[in-house]
Chain A
């Protein structure tokens, strides 16, 4: 009976570094948000719990800083799994708190979908410790499953929002059409496109859960890149941080696609 062989390390390293890069960018963006205007954490403490603005901002910045420190740890200790695990858990917790508070604050349309829509941000980090190059194919399979679940959750939430013609998505389409093509789409046209996008997103999510294929994951990565870029393209360079915060929308499916590709070279037991 053949024993399990390590997957080719260059591919596995690429998977891990793609994830680390995505996590570092999103953590940096969160820190920028916390410093510039505050995040859900500051709002919850100041507006709901009655804390002073100074204390709220400190906790907000502290939590975002913890996330940034964890991301830095991921970058500088790539070979130490215990530290990678601890840092990934810390990042996951930081972003899970933010996603959960979105439900509590309910200041946005579709806020109830935030934990699913942001699954790549908080569930994605947890996949990294299972996708480190030195681990076994079985551990990598677990990591791929977790990553697929995170990407699928994000695509499901965004698909549902698109089907419901999320006004922000509509404006991203309208704005991108104006900026890129000098084309003034009607709202009904944009909503028709959103319906098609919603169906496609749900199909991608289903495929990733039921039968993950590299092509589907790489399509998800391409789409994730386009959607995060649409913030800057449609709204202008002032909104670059909005794109940066969504870096895992591209990095998570890209890492999944690379992991699925390299898994094809794994020996079958």
Chain B
């Protein structure tokens, strides 16, 4: 165990962006990403901090430094790629690279637009040395009482596949509803904040937030504990001041969002700023909403250091909602005032589900009692402001199955098919032969295993007693055409045979069982499988190996599929309303 931990310690930088991991399979998105080449603008974003009615920062990345960077823009529909105005880059430079960076030197460009009109569509292209982006647009924030919506969420530092799907969900929500104004990210954008390869991956995936019409939803960035170092300020043009990163965004007369930084001193200058800014915001905004990374009423971890400092100020200024991240669950607390449930208190929501693997929440905290809740779910939160009401809606994002998921293919042996199974080593080598009598074996649906709460057939008797599980399943191979592949999620190893001949293996070199965690289905194409088919039922046999009898878990989840797509699933991402409540404006 110690040895594996030390191995892990050395492997961490490599594991963070494991490309072969089914959880990071982005094959359905790659065509939509803009390649970083020459001075071709890529990774564009619109950043809002203060005065979103009249100001915005338009930023992008190029692979080469270039010399002439500008934004061409207009608020009138003059026709495709015709713009009256232009603004030069206020700041360009090379992204800071760490010695572990796997990214070549790359360059940021920021154009700061000012003097815009509220509630106005701004059409623009970004241009570097004459090379332009596609035509894009965003809408400035309103300065009147019209209805608006804000999308919020946090924690996208890993789970890149889920992250990409959530970004497409953001684009879909923005395209479908013009009242959606912006997206507030609660921090922990990336795993290692000092590595631009991490940031570059996130920025490229963020392009998926651009809808088919070219709408770019402005982002309000929050610094998380993993976003340390200068790159956060280089990516977002130092929102709220370099390293400080605190700012108030008055979205409209309805609401002010106060972005705080839980990585700097929370009880010093930032506390003073919070008090002064809440006083100003209380005078011109109906709803007051602080947003910060480290949760103060957490559903997973211990409270952040700001607990003695910020909530009393929230209570004093009668804050409505507080947005939190960091825990990797979806949560809502009861209304809290003076550290106790109170009908007129602050509701703390969020905790981060923009891609990171979700955790099991704590069961006992008083502040998660109904109507509070906490559960693992990739999610966004939508805040709708209308008249004197704020509606909070939790949108669970269902991640579409990956290319390595058998649900996307015509299934010959389904993931939940019934198999004959037996524990322990085989008494005879003939057990993989088609005619072998397995009538005395146990039977159960796949997948098989113990210790990880995802098995259809739970093999508790295997723990501490057996290192091997053998399973058999008969199927009709007649009429199969095209390719055939075994899909297997396994821990720690397996060897598969078709009618007695080995056709696939994973985690086993013939002598030694490695250590392999089940991370979803992996695909193993079967070669020359037609030559192995017989008259009558064919039999697929799999031996699953555990690295040790004392291992805490075991998984063997097989399926057999052709390479033809199935009818049922598609690659679309769906959002499902998981919870909803409405707050009324408080009297201040």
Contacts and interface: CB of A to CB of B under 8 A. Distances in A.
A37 interface: yes
B5 A48 contact: no
A136 interface: no
A186 B268 contact: yes
Interface string A30-47: 000000110001001111
A171 B267 contact: yes
Interface residues of A, number: 47
B263 A55 contact: no
Contact of B9 (A44, A165, A238): A44
A10 interface: no
B451 interface: yes
A59 B458 CA distance: 21
B153 interface: no
Interface in B1-53: 1-2, 5-6, 8-9, 11-13, 15-16, 18, 21, 23
B308 A234 contact: yes
Given A49-B11, A50-B517, A174 B356 contact: no
Interface string B295-328: 0000011110101110000000000000000000
A49 B15 contact: yes
B91 interface: no
Interface in A49-63: 49-55, 58-59, 62-63
Interface in B448-481: 451-454
A145 B478 CA distance: 77
A247 to B, nearest CB: 18
A58 B228 CA distance: 30
Q: Which residue among B23, B191, B301, B302 has the maximum number of chain A CB atoms within 10 Å of its CB?
A: B302
Nearest to A168: B305
A53 B158 CA distance: 15
Contacts of A105: 12
Contact of A54 (B158, B266, B451): B451
Contacts of B268: 170-171, 174, 186-187, 190
A58 B552 contact: yes
Chain B: interface residue count, which band? Answer: 35 or more
B177 interface: no
B25 to A, nearest CB: 13
Nearest to A52: B452
B8 A45 contact: yes
A132 interface: no
A244 to B, nearest CB: 13
Interface in B232-266: 263-266
Given A44-B12, A97-B6, A104-B12, A52 B553 contact: yes
A268 to B, nearest CB: 42
B509 interface: no
A109 B293 CA distance: 14
B225 interface: yes
B267 A175 contact: yes
A106 interface: yes
Most B Cβ at <10 Å: residue of A37, A186, A234: A37
A39 to B, nearest CB: 11
Given A53-B360, A108-B225, A167-B266, A48 B6 contact: no
Interface string A55-94: 1001100110000000000000000000000000000010
B192 interface: yes
Interface in B415-464: 451-454
A56 B433 CA distance: 38
B264 A167 contact: yes
B265 A47 contact: no
A94 to B, nearest CB: 9
Contacts of A178: 267, 308
B1 A235 contact: no
Nearest to B302: A37
B339 to A, nearest CB: 9
A51 B265 contact: no
Interface string B361-399: 010000000000000000000000000000000000000
A101 B209 CA distance: 34
A2 interface: no
B1 A59 contact: yes
A106 B552 contact: no
Contacts of A179: 308
A135 to B, nearest CB: 28
Contacts of B112: none
B263 A52 contact: no
Given A53-B359, A236-B308, A47 B158 contact: yes
Contacts of B356: 47
A269 interface: no
Contacts of A63: 1-2, 5
A54 B518 CA distance: 12
A59 to B, nearest CB: 6
Contact of B266 (A37, A171, A241): A171
Nearest to A187: B268
Contacts of A52: 452-454, 517-518, 553
A55 B452 contact: yes
Contacts of A37: 300-302, 362
Given A45-B8, A53-B359, A62-B1, 20 more contacts: A36-B302, A37-B362, A44-B5, A48-B8, A49-B517, A52-B454, A54-B451, A59-B1, A63-B1, A100-B9, A105-B12, A106-B194, A106-B226, A107-B226, A109-B228, A167-B266, A168-B305, A187-B265, A236-B308, A238-B303
3 closest A-B pairs by CB? A187-B268, A174-B267, A167-B265
9 contacts: A37-B300, A41-B5, A45-B8, A50-B21, A55-B452, A59-B1, A97-B9, A106-B226, A165-B265
